[in-house]
Structure 1
Amino acid sequence: MIMPIRQFQAQRMHAPRDFQPIENKPVCVEIGAGKGKHALLFSGQHPDLQLIAVERTREKFVAMQKQHQLEGQANLTPIHADALPWVVHALYPQQVQQFFILYPNPEPHNPAQRWLNMPFFEFLISRLQPNATVTLASNIPEYIAEAEQQLKNVWKLPYEKQVIAQDSARTHFEIKYLERGELCQQLIIQKPETYTTRFDDFQPLNGQNTQTVDESNDAR
């Protein structure tokens, strides 16, 4: 089944509490960073890259923040916020080198909230640099299969599907799933140089909320 996609209404997004704008320079972004295991590993392994790790749940964010204070990676910025409004208010067009969405909630009772079924995914792609990637990982084969279908039929984006190695340990969920013997897979989704979205000229709201809404409901 192909999920219908309405146009995302970015101007309706209120800024997260205590929002702070960021500079328009290349960054990597992890959405749903949890307690920060992957964020801390990645920033330690790639000191030349700046990573912003966004987590909505306060308890998990505090755990990530405390561990970050212990390890002290200067290239990691933990953010306590809901990812959708934060992305809309903070990120510039073609700013992001990599997005990581590792083991998101599969939303079994609300398929429209899965990442590639949301209108917001088009906005997310508009923030990617040309040839940059989104890494989407899951232990649920049906989730990956549905995402593949959306990439082919709706978003028209190239991707590579990979089986995650048994010794991988990027997140606490990944460790748990692999120890159970579950199949963990990821899609490496690439944005071609010629790819365009309806948000390519949309600048970050930087804490402002204009309430000017484009009512178009066209699918991509």
Structure 2
Amino acid sequence: MTIPDIRPFQPQYLKAPRNFQAITDQSVCLEIGAGKGKHACLFASQHANQHLIAIERTAEKFQFMFRQHQELALHNLQPVHADAIPWVVHALYPEQVQQCFILYPNPEPHNPAQRWLNMPFFEYLLSRLKAGGQITLASNIREYIDEAEQQLLHVWHLPYQKQKIVKESARTHFEIKYLQRGELCQQLLITKPQGYQTRFDHTLPQAGTVMP
């Protein structure tokens, strides 16, 4: 196992989100920062055999997504109103996630340490991803993508593909707005290879609980 050159994540200090409800250990897809749920609803409608958990922290955006979910009767979509980090720690099992979407996250211009691939939590997230599973990270900020590439190469040692997002794409409200402005939108398709190991591969959902 190659230990990433980053301070270790400490899940044992995170409390469960308010009104937390555990899930089963079935395979799932995950969207972090789902916003108003445009991509979540689209994905769920196009992949009826996959269960998508869409997490959004902001109450107003979550309520919009929840209403869309109910109107469309998408039984394979589970909207969750929570902060993603403690929710993932308390809810997800090792190698449970098939795909994870992080689409146009807050670039944290004044706090780069809070960008997803700069955080120790990213190692924990990788432990929840199945071997062969994929994380899609999209942004309209070139520097954000460039920095994430460097982290993948030098910290996480993960294979990825870098793609330019076509102007016809309309996965999120942000994506539509950025592409209409003529901005460059890019994504990294990050794959977890077979045999990739983290320090949390045997950590069960519930912070600090470890399989024998």
Measured against the shorter chain, the TM-score band is: over 0.9
Q: Does 1:104 align with 2:105?
A: yes
Distance 1:210 1:173 in 2: 36
Number of matched residues? Answer: 207
Cα distance in 1 between the residues matched to 2:69 and 2:131: 30
Superposed, 1:38-187 pairs within 5 Å as 38-187=39-188
Measured in 1, the distance between the counterparts of 2:185 and 2:193 equals 26
In the alignment, residue 113 of structure 1 is paired with which amino acid? Q
User: What stretches of structure 1 of length at least 5 have no aligned partner?
Assistant: 212-220
Deviation, structure 1 residue 49 = 0.5
Q: Is the 8 A contact 2:58 2:81 kept in 1?
A: yes
Secondary structure at the aligned position of 1:144 is classed as helix
Q: Which amino acid aligns with 1:85?
A: P
Report SS of the residue matched to 2:15. Answer: coil
Displacement of 1:4 after TM fit? 6.0
* 1:97 alignment partner AA: Q
User: Normalization by structure 2: what TM-score?
Assistant: 0.95
Runs of 4+ off more than 4 Å: none
Q: Secondary structure at the match of 2:105?
A: coil
Query: What is the CA–CA distance in structure 1 between the aligned matches of 2:10 and 2:165, rounded to whole Å?
Result: 35
Structure 2 unaligned runs (5+)? Answer: none
Query: CA RMSD of the aligned region, Å?
Result: 1.5
CA deviation string 1:103-128 (max 9, x = no partner): 00000000000000000000000000
TM norm structure 1: 0.92
For residue 64 of structure 2, give the secondary structure of its aligned residue in structure 1. Answer: helix
Task: Report the CA distance between 1:210 and its aligned residue.
Answer: 5.9
Bigger relative contact order, structure 1 or 2 (CA pairs below 8 A, ≥6 apart): 1
Mapped partners of 1:71, 1:18: distance in 2: 24
- Aligned identity (percent) is 67
